[in-house]
């Protein structure tokens, strides 16, 4: 009987762990394009070619790659994520900024007002965009159900403990809630390296108050 109750305890503990933690994904540098930018770089009416679905429903990595050019350095083969958006945007890490020679602000995706511009190159075609270079603010995408379970709301700032090889607590993590989302945390490669990231790493929200 004692053994049975111990097993039950362990099982309910494991279930609780799964309920309250989520997978953390590391995002490399990537490009979002408007249809206008796509037309300019690939030709009028060009359609992106899906290479791989991402964890967020409807989002995908494309076959097409571009060169991202900064004042000091550049990156080749930067992946484009689809579908097209209303405004072009490039997300890089703080380390990438040093290579490019430009200082990008830490922003939520889509919040690009006043951010630096960038240059994209596809073979002989190039496009200069006057704003949209950002370092993505670390965030947790959540379904409304998971947000309710965790007791957090859209745009709330929390801490997240991650269980990598170098466990750490990220502060200043923004919660983003939408029925369009699947529940995953997104960090960049600088943050992933700091945490000893491996695929499948999980995180847990620590409420600040």
40 counts as binding Zn ion under rule CB under 5 A: no
User: In the bound complex, what is the minimum distance in angstroms from residue 179's beta carbon to Zn ion?
Assistant: 16
Query: Six-digit token pair at 145?
Result: 């159900």
Which residue in the shown chain puts its C-beta closest to Zn ion? 186
Transcribe 65-115 into DSSP letters.
EEEEE-SS-EEEEEEEEES-BSS-EEE--HHHHHHHT-PPPEE-TT--TT-
Q: Does 107 bind Zn ion (CB under 5 A)?
A: no
Nearer to Zn ion, 29 or 186 (CB): 186
Shortest spacing between CB 73 and Zn ion, in angstroms: 26
Parallel, antiparallel, or unpaired for β 30-32 and 74-82?
A: parallel
- Give the residue with the Cβ less far from Zn ion, 40 or 107: 107
Which range in 12-20, 43-51, 115-123, 179-187 contacts Zn ion by CB under 5 A? 179-187
Residue 186 binds Zn ion, judged by CB under 5 A? yes
CB atoms within 10 A of CB 99: 16
Using rule CB under 5 A, residue 137 touches Zn ion: no
Own/partner pairs for 145-148, CB < 8 Å, 24+ apart? 146/22, 146/183, 147/175, 147/177
How many chain residues touch Zn ion (CB under 5 A)?
1
Nearer to Zn ion, 32 or 40 (CB): 32
Cα radius of gyration rounded to whole Å, the chain? 20
Q: Which residues bind Zn ion (CB under 5 A)?
A: 186
């Amino acid at each position: 009987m004692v053994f049975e109750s111990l097993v039950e305890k362990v099982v309910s503990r494991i279930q609780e762990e799964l309920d309250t933690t989520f997978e953390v994904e590391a995002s490399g540098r990537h490009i979002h394009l408007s249809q206008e930018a796509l037309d300019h770089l690939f030709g009028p009416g060009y359609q992106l070619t899906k290479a791989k679905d991402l964890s967020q429903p409807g989002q995908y990595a494309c076959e097409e790659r571009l060169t991202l050019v900064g004042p000091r350095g550049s990156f080749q083969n930067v992946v484009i994520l689809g579908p097209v958006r209303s405004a072009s945007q490039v997300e890089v890490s703080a380390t990438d900024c040093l290579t490019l020679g430009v200082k990008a602000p830490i922003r939520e995706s889509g919040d690009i007002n006043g951010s630096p511009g960038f240059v994209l190159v596809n073979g002989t075609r190039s496009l200069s965009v006057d704003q949209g270079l950002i370092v993505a603010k670390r965030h947790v995408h959540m379904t409304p159900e998971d947000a309710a379970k965790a007791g957090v709301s859209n745009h709330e700032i929390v801490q997240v403990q991650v269980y990598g090889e170098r466990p750490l607590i990220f502060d200043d993590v923004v919660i983003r809630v939408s029925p369009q989302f699947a529940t995953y945390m997104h960090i960049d490669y600088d943050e992933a390296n700091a945490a000893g990231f491996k695929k499948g790493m999980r995180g847990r929200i620590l409420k600040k108050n």
